Structure 1
Amino acid sequence: MSIVRPYGDTTGDGMVQLSFTLPIPHDKRAEGAAVQLANKMGMDPALLVHAKPMGEGFTFFVVYGKVSHLVDTDKVQVVERDFPLLSAKEVNAVIKRKLRRRLNVVGACIGTDAHTVGIDAILNLKGIAGEKGLEYYRELSVTNMGAQVSVPELVEEARAQKADAVLVSQVVTQRDAHLQNTRAMSAAFREALPAGKRPLLIVGGPRFDELMAGDLGVDRIFSRGTTPREVASYLVHALVGSPS
């Protein structure tokens, strides 16, 4: 079935749960405003199930209600993985056989972003979810620049390390900072290095849309749930070629 409706208590009942914050103090009027907003978004009926003050002049709400909207899964656009998922042993073997040198990777959180959990999960030896990070791969040379790295610093380090790939993590998304930083980064690399000399540009973070790679000027976007093995396999696919 390609047409589906949200499921809450029974199949196809259209029930959804929504959370949001309004810039008003918590009182009965605020609760009424939350229900009004939910109604305008198509929830009918809308039931307020939680309201909590969030500092002076703000209230957080959770609303539960029914919507009539349908989803056509045949029209959903996603980025499918178009490369084989390799083991660490296979990644190392392909790089050694075909590239005949170590593949150089530089990673960082750029701008004012100080959240290194994402980049560390991909690069650091300990990795994530039972997978070792890229530092574990003996045929990868990894430089982790850490947090709050400026774009000029990233470009300079990529040049110094003769980077084959640059990995950038962006978690802070207020006012679309992740999009602005990514566009500034890709523009800086285009200006600093001629075509054919630029490293592969990869960005990741929980709020990125994987379909926006072309618009942001990067080669690949990885969203939440990405593992080091996926990134390593993509690097081989994009920079080295078929493992066979």
Structure 2
Amino acid sequence: MRPYGDTTGDGMVQLSFTLPMPHSKVAEGAAAQLANKMGMDPALVVHAKPMGPDFTFFVVYGRVNHLVDPSKVVVVERDYPLLTPKEANAAIKRSLRRRLVVVGACIGTDAHTVGIDAILNIKGFAGEKGLEYYREVKVVNLGAQVSVPQLVERARAEKADAVLVSQVVTQRDAHLLNTREMSAAFRESYPSDKRPLLVVGGPRFDEAMADELGVDRIFGRGTTPGEVASFIVHRMSTRTQERKAS
């Protein structure tokens, strides 16, 4: 299939970007040229706005001829059941026989707590209560700009079952570097069978990179508290069953 703009299969798409040039006719021509080289033909600059004296923001509209085959798309599907808070609480009591401990933070220089707060705070997100609402979950929210050593130390002190990290700042792949540093630190500090679940989330993560980054799960934009809670409960229940079996 092709993108849909005005008519089915016409391949029309809209693209936005910034060029490090003052706004001018030349800048608009450069934007059209870039869009052409990206496969848009024809490419129409429909919006151009100066961003200070040295930058210009563009929106370009045009046609592409590329085809998309949905049968070849690879995504990370949810492989665990979605639980209500009541069901999650019951599963925790049944499998752990104690409260589940979750430690959350924004690490490195990231000061954007909106994501971690949406998952942990009782007010939650998208109509769902955060993990603080779950009676059988103890939540420790460390807030923003937490160093990796501080996170590991607090996780050990709290005997965390799961560690949640939110990363919004992505300049120079800071979210990837921070996540790799975090996962390495936990693997150095814990025996493999004692390490807490490592869960990261943010709008720019690729959910398929969990193994590459050394974490147990990656959640992207739009994730709800219920999805995170259900994953943690499912994995902790599975881990407990495996330990009993061995």
In structure 2, distance between residues paired with 1:200 and 1:93: 20
Answer yes or no: is 1:91 the counterpart of 2:83. Answer: no
Aligned partner of 1:127 in structure 2 is 124
SS at the partner of 2:191?
Answer: coil
Q: Does residue 1:37 correspond to 2:34, yes or no? A: yes
Deviating runs (4+, > 3 A) in structure 1? none
How far apart are residue 192 of structure 1 and its match?
A: 1.1
The within-5 A match list for 1:101-112 is 101-112=98-109
SS at match of 1:241: helix
Q: d(CA) in 2 for partners of 1:148 and 1:72?
A: 41
| CA distance in structure 1 between the aligned counterparts of 2:211 and 2:139, rounded to whole angstroms | 26
Counterpart mapping for 1:165-176 below 5 A? 165-176=162-173
Distance 1:219 1:129 in 2: 24
Q: Distance between the aligned counterparts of 2:168 and 2:121, measured in 1?
A: 17
- Residues 162-202 of structure 1, C-alpha deviation per residue, up to 9 Å, x if partnerless? 00000000000000000000000000001111111110000
Displacement after TM superposition at 1:241 (Å): 3.2
**Does structure 1 residue 236 correspond to structure 2 residue 233?**
yes
Aligned AA (1:159): R
Note the aligned Cα RMSD (angstroms). Answer: 0.8
Deviation string for 1:134-178 (max 9, x for gaps)? Answer: 000010010000000000000000000000000000000000000
Give the letter aligned to residue 106 of structure 1. Answer: V
- How is 1:46-65 mapped onto 2 (pairs within 5 angstroms)? 46-65=43-62
Identity of aligned residues (%): 80
- 2:138 alignment partner in structure 1: 141
Q: Distance in 2 between matches of 1:6 and 1:186?
A: 39
Residue in 1 aligned with 2:199?
202
Q: Secondary structure at the match of 1:171?
A: coil
Q: Does 1:115 align with 2:112?
A: yes
* Structure 2: gaps of 5 or more residues: 240-246
What is the CA distance between 1:127 and its match in structure 2?
A: 0.3
Task: Give the partner amino acid of 1:108.
Answer: A
Pairwise CA distance, 1:16? 0.2
Q: Does 1:71 align with 2:53?
A: no
Q: Which residue of 2 aligns with 1:185?
A: 182
CA distance, structure 2, for counterparts of residue 33 and residue 56 of structure 1: 17
> How far has the Cα of 1:106 moved from its partner?
0.1
TM-score, L = length of structure 1: 0.97
Q: Which amino acid aligns with 2:153?
A: E
Q: Report the Cα distance in structure 2 between the residues aligned to 1:188 and 1:201, rounded to whole angstroms.
A: 11
Unaligned runs of 5+ in 1: none
**Count of aligned positions:** 239
SS in 1 for 2:138: strand
Q: Distance in 2 between matches of 1:188 and 1:108?
A: 15
- Secondary structure, in 3 states, of the residue corresponding to 2:47? strand
State the Cα distance separating 1:118 from its structure 2 match: 0.3
3-state secondary structure, aligned to 1:71: coil
Following TM superposition, by how much is the alpha carbon of 1:128 offset from its aligned partner in structure 2, in angstroms? 0.8
Give the residue type in structure 1 aligned to 2:215: V
Aligned-partner Cα distance in 1 for 2:144–2:122: 17
Instruction: State the Cα distance separating 1:55 from its structure 2 match.
Output: 1.1
Separation in structure 2 between the aligned mates of residue 42 and residue 25 of structure 1, nearest angstrom: 25
